């Protein structure tokens, strides 16, 4: 496999994950999780979202969370914004980067933000202008890049058109999102093989949901095409409230474990990340879908049972 020596992981659980939880997570616990992720060496964290509290009530404390987190040198703290008003709020709160989103399919864009793609583009143009004046980086995500829960397949030409409109506005970081886990590795390879030569110099990110247990295979396919920026969610938290059938994102600790086993560097302390996942399970009060928390790392060893130890040759005992 042609894999990069190092990748950059952006943790999205405190935004993408917490936004869909049925009970409001107290501000101090959100701050605690962000700080624990920072202590684990996570290089990028999408902390929260500056949206209207009636739309996403779970994140109504965005300003308070940003004001109270302990910022670790080397970690970039970002927030998702829907429009220029959200961008101004995020900049006032001191974010290091702004994340935006538009869908590749019209029906999902309408369900997600109640706008057509064209209307969203005008909003994003205003966001980019606000961010440019503040000299803050913008990353543009494209939901339903690999399939829409309402329309099914999204034509590659349609996805390319959305990417083109974003880059024409000045986007230099573009995320392809598998919003409901519809992608497969061959499709991911085909999409990247088509797009990357057409848009040289773009920093590509893959944002995957593990709805059908395809997230890590899809990530590996993307890495073979040079993608080195990946989103993950602690414990596998997440889902889209406006996309039927969406389940959690790829589990951050499972992904880091997989990469470490293959010798791909992330700069993240896996043991600390696993501890963060356990703490998040305590906070939300239920088990999460991540596997490494349950099984332990592949380097874990168990004592040989007494009934077996006596039968193993001394050299192997």
The alpha carbon dihedral of 224, 146, 233, 213 has a sign of negative
Q: From the candidates 140, 148, 240, 251, which is the catalytic residue?
A: 240
145, 191 Cβ separation under 8 angstroms = yes
Assign residue 72 a region: left if phi > 0, alpha if psi is -120 to 50, beta otherwise?
beta
Among the listed residues 213, 220, 216, 221, the one whose alpha carbon sits nearest the alpha carbon of residue 232? 216
Gap between the Cα atoms of 40 and 46, Å rounded: 15
Gap between the Cα atoms of 108 and 186, Å rounded: 23
Among the listed residues 232, 202, 235, 201, the one whose alpha carbon sits nearest the alpha carbon of residue 218? 232
Active-site annotation holds for 240: yes
SS3 assignment, position 171? coil
Gap between the Cα atoms of 293 and 253, Å rounded: 8
Q: What torsion, rounded to 10 degrees, do the Cα atoms 218, 203, 172, 195 define?
A: -50
Tokens 């961008």 found at: 87
Structure tokens, 151: 């329309």
Q: What torsion, rounded to 10 degrees, do the Cα atoms 43, 94, 235, 180 define?
A: -100
SS3 assignment, position 55? coil
Among the listed residues 308, 300, 312, 288, the one whose alpha carbon sits nearest the alpha carbon of residue 236? 288
Residues that are catalytic: 240
């Amino acid at each position: 496999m042609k894999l990069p020596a190092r990748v950059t992981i952006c943790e999205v659980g405190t935004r993408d994950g917490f936004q869909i939880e049925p009970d409001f997570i107290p501000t101090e616990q959100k701050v605690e999780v962000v700080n624990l992720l920072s202590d684990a060496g996570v290089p990028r964290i999408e902390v929260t979202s500056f949206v209207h509290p009636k739309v996403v009530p779970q994140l109504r404390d965005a300003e308070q969370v940003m004001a109270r987190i302990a910022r670790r040198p080397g970690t970039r703290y970002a927030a998702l914004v829907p429009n220029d008003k959200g961008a101004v709020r995020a900049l006032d709160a001191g974010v290091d980067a702004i994340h935006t989103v538009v869908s590749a399919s019209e029906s999902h864009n309408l369900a997600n933000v109640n706008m057509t793609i064209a209307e969203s583009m005008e909003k994003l143009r205003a966001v980019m202008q606000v961010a440019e004046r503040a000299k803050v980086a913008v990353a543009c995500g494209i939901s339903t890049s690999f399939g829409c829960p309402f329309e099914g397949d999204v034509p590659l030409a349609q996805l390319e058109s959305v990417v083109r409109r974003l880059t024409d506005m000045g986007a230099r970081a573009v995320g392809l999102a598998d919003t409901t886990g519809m992608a497969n590795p061959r499709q991911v390879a085909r999409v990247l093989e088509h797009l990357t030569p057409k848009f040289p110099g773009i920093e590509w990110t893959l944002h995957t949901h593990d709805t059908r247990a395809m997230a890590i295979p899809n990530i590996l396919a993307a890495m073979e095409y040079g993608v080195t920026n990946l989103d993950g969610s602690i414990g596998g938290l997440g889902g889209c409230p406006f996309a039927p059938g969406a389940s959690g994102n790829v589990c951050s600790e499972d992904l880091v474990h997989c990469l470490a086993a293959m010798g791909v560097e992330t700069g993240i302390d896996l043991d600390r990340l696993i501890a963060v996942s356990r703490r998040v399970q305590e906070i939300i009060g239920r088990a999460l879908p991540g596997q490494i928390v349950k099984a332990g790392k592949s380097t874990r060893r168990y004592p040989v049972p007494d009934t077996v130890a006596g039968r193993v040759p001394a050299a192997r005992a």
